[in-house]
Structure 1
Amino acid sequence: MKNQNKTVTKSMALLTLFRQHEELTLQEMVKLSGIPKTSAHRMVGALIEMGFLQKEKDGRYSLGMLFLEFGQLVSERLDIRKAALPVMQKVNRETGEAINLVVKDQLEAIYVEKLEASHPVRLYTKIGRRSPLYAGACPRIILAYTEETEQQAYIEKANLIPFASGTITSKEKLLQSLHRSRIDGYTISFSELENDTVSVAAPIFDYKNSIVGGISIAGPETRFQKDQFPFYINKAKEAGKTISKNLGCQSFPF
């Protein structure tokens, strides 16, 4: 049983590599994982047989179609997604901009649903994209309402790497932003994950009144004029509250 557990752990280590790489050769998997080539070759064969990996014509490997099926099942079974989608569709119609739904996954934020903007120029954020909690409006609004002890531990350990010209890289500035967000009930990001983009986000709470996600209205900076921000802020906060009520939240901290 112990050896089986090690095999499962190593197999997961190989699969995890594909979160950052679309395709890999066996040699690249060996180098990145540190698993001996013989063991890696055996595990890759088993993963292909089970449908978790597939071998391309050029000999490289990629994730198998089974992940698409699993991903669809996980997406369909997320209560927050079901509760949020009708609200997202309404805000999408009212604003014409992209609407993102983000949840927390350990020390990261993950995009679990997105509706595209009606404009020709769009942001191409993919469902399944991950982001650190300090960068971007949606991830940061989640961090803002995360329990204080957990929030402090995260900030102490976080390495604030810049992703774009507006990424917050100062812990003092991050703390100020989080404090302001809790007071206001929303946050705005300017070029934090991608240059020349704006995102306005509000929190989503569950029946325990605990933060479970965030919803944002996002688009190119050229379409977000200063006099429009009250409109976007109001729409984001209304959407966050409606989704929260759909999840059983009875009271809001702002």
Structure 2
Amino acid sequence: MDIVTGVGVLDKAMTVLRSVADEPQALTQLQESTGYPRATVHRLAAALEAHGVLRRDVEGRFELGHGLVALGNESQARFPLVDSARPILSELRDHTGESVQLFVQEGHQRRCVLSLETPHGLRWIVPEGSVFPLDAGSAGRVLSAIGASNGWVESVGEREAGVASVSAAVHGPADSVVAALSVSGPIERMSKQPGERFGDAVNAAAAELSRTLGG
């Protein structure tokens, strides 16, 4: 889901970055994937290259730059939630056999900061960094503090047809909700009552992560 802030040049620059994140792209490819005029794409890509967030590979295609590594490392150091969550989500994935995710709220949206996939061939993939609305899906409702009477919230085909999920809140200091922990997958395996099947496991994992964070 693309974010439109109203700051045109920034939105366009982020579109270029997201296009390159999928695969290295030559200028012509970038023009096609973004839909922007060639001159605009060239100007943005050259500026991003100068700032180190894009680079050229051996074939001259634009690729993600090494400057992003330093920024990513600094972000992770200031935001230890992901490191604390990884072993807990890994255990939850192995226990449930389904994909697991961790979402945090960003304004009126939610961002996936950790995603571990099930080994099943048929699976629901949520790329890390993906942004979704708060008003659809179990994780969005958890972050909005809506409908968690059982400690968990479930959704069935709400945001994406054929997908079910169950989520629970992760609490930090002062009992603040800092994230939503989710299990998601095809309805065929999750069933139409994913909370009954995985709610207790999701609650337990969220509670363990909360204790780790001092919640």
Bin the TM-score by the shorter chain.
Answer: 0.7 to 0.9
- Higher relative helix content: 1
Matched, 1:233 2:199: yes
* AA partner of residue 132 (structure 1): P
Percent pairwise identity: 25
Matched, 1:79 2:80: yes
Matched, 1:127 2:128: yes
* Deviation of the 1:220 alpha carbon: 0.7
Alpha-carbon distance in structure 1 between the residues aligned to 2:31 and 2:194: 49
Alpha-carbon distance in structure 2 between the residues aligned to 1:118 and 1:59: 35
* Deviation of the 1:225 alpha carbon: 3.2
* AA partner of residue 209 (structure 1): D
Instruction: State the secondary structure of the residue aligned to 2:184.
Output: strand
- Equivalent residue for 1:18? 16
Instruction: State the secondary structure of the residue aligned to 1:248.
Output: coil
Alpha-carbon distance in structure 2 between the residues aligned to 1:213 and 1:129: 15
Instruction: State the secondary structure of the residue aligned to 1:82.
Output: helix
* Deviation of the 1:59 alpha carbon: 8.8
Gaps of 5+ in 1: 1-8, 32-36, 145-177, 250-254
**Structure 2-normalised TM-score?**
0.76
- Equivalent residue for 2:92? 91
- Equivalent residue for 1:186? 152
- Equivalent residue for 1:199? 165
Q: Residues 104 and 244 (structure 1 numbering): CA distance in 2 closer, same or farther, change over 3 Å?
A: same
Alpha-carbon distance in structure 1 between the residues aligned to 2:131 and 2:165: 16
- Equivalent residue for 1:223? 189
Instruction: State the secondary structure of the residue aligned to 1:110.
Output: strand
**Structure 1-normalised TM-score?**
0.66
* Deviation of the 1:229 alpha carbon: 3.8
Gaps of 5+ in 2: 1-6
Q: Residues 132 and 18 (structure 1 numbering): CA distance in 2 closer, same or farther, change over 3 Å?
A: farther
Q: Residues 225 and 214 (structure 1 numbering): CA distance in 2 closer, same or farther, change over 3 Å?
A: same
Deviations 1:182-232, CA, capped at 9 Å, x for gaps: x22211111233221111000111112111110011111100236774340
Instruction: State the secondary structure of the residue aligned to 1:188.
Output: strand
Q: Residues 19 and 197 (structure 1 numbering): CA distance in 2 closer, same or farther, change over 3 Å?
A: farther
* AA partner of residue 92 (structure 1): R
* AA partner of residue 230 (structure 1): E
Whether the 8 Å contact between 1:25 and 1:60 is mirrored in structure 2 is: no
Q: Residues 103 and 228 (structure 1 numbering): CA distance in 2 closer, same or farther, change over 3 Å?
A: closer
Alpha-carbon distance in structure 2 between the residues aligned to 1:57 and 1:28: 25
* AA partner of residue 118 (structure 1): P
RMSD: 3.2
Matched, 1:141 2:146: no
Equivalent residues in 2 for 1:96-175 (5 A)? 96-144=97-145
Alpha-carbon distance in structure 2 between the residues aligned to 1:56 and 1:10: 27
| Greater radius of gyration (CA) | 1
Instruction: State the secondary structure of the residue aligned to 1:208.
Output: helix
- Equivalent residue for 2:177? 211
* AA partner of residue 25 (structure 1): Q
